[in-house]
Structure 1
């Protein structure tokens, strides 16, 4: 736990405000990607089955579809707001990792989504280390808590 606290403290000290804008764009992207998957679950089912990596019951496939969709919607929204950013980035990592190494890389044609998935994976790793930043609900709640303790 000491290492996690030190990484968190280092990330809080080395966080330019421009990264908050990047965090918000990442959150919006994940949120809208989740909305797209929510509105077109058949496409997500096709992506999962087309890779051949998961061979299971229809119930397992449906559970994966719900997990991916709701993690993107909820996680993307909370990453955008900067609330528990490290936690939500960590929860997004397995989804995006699978998208990079099993879904997009196996496409037989040049896929622009591969590069987008790699970028999202890299940004999630960055925000896993750096955290929310100065323009976030985490920081606002921390300031509010510190002000309440001073009273």
Structure 2
């Protein structure tokens, strides 16, 4: 717990509006990906075609939809950002790996790698000073 507190103190001392804008953009993007995932289910089942022999394929699809929609909104507002990012990391790592198993999509590969790197950054950085987490912490 002391490590998280020291990371929060460092992040609040070194906060920048550009990082908050990046967090908001990532949250909106993940939310839109979740909505896209929900509306184009056939496309995404084709994407995970290489993993169809693994049990729970539809469970994975529903986890991705929920995690992107709920996690995107939480990242957008900066509410429980680290927990939301932890839920996104396995999805983004899987999106990165699936490009090597199935058909290679360079755009998806680059996008998933960038989002994975940004999420790992926010896992350590936190939500920043301009977020719901900071607001609720200051209200105590």
TM score, norm. by length of structure 1: 0.83
Measured after TM superposition, the shift of residue 139 of structure 1 is 1.2
Tell me the distance in 1 between the aligned counterparts of 2:34 and 2:105: 23
For the residue of structure 1 that corresponds to 2:79, the secondary structure is coil
Residue aligning to 1:87: 83
8 Å CA contact 1:12, 1:130 repeated in 2? no
Measured after TM superposition, the shift of residue 110 of structure 1 is 5.1
Q: How does 1:97-112 map to 2 (within 5 A)?
A: 97-101=93-97, 103-109=98-104, 111-112=106-107
- What is the alpha-carbon root mean square deviation over aligned residues? 1.7
Residue aligning to 1:117: 112
8 Å CA contact 1:15, 1:130 repeated in 2? no
8 Å CA contact 2:29, 2:72 repeated in 1? yes
Tell me the distance in 2 between the aligned counterparts of 1:134 and 1:8: 9
8 Å CA contact 2:85, 2:122 repeated in 1? yes
5+ unaligned residues in a row in structure 2: which ranges?
none
Measured after TM superposition, the shift of residue 43 of structure 1 is 1.6
Number of aligned residue pairs: give it. Answer: 140
Q: 1:81 to 1:10 in 2, by over 3 A?
A: same
For the residue of structure 2 that corresponds to 1:105, the secondary structure is helix
Tell me the distance in 1 between the aligned counterparts of 2:128 and 2:2: 20
Structure 1 position 64 matched with structure 2 position 51: no
Measured after TM superposition, the shift of residue 109 of structure 1 is 4.7
Residue aligning to 1:138: 133
Tell me the distance in 2 between the aligned counterparts of 1:85 and 1:109: 31
8 Å CA contact 1:30, 1:75 repeated in 2? yes
Residue aligning to 1:27: 27
Higher gyration radius (CA)? 1
TM score, norm. by length of structure 2: 0.89
Tell me the distance in 2 between the aligned counterparts of 1:100 and 1:56: 18
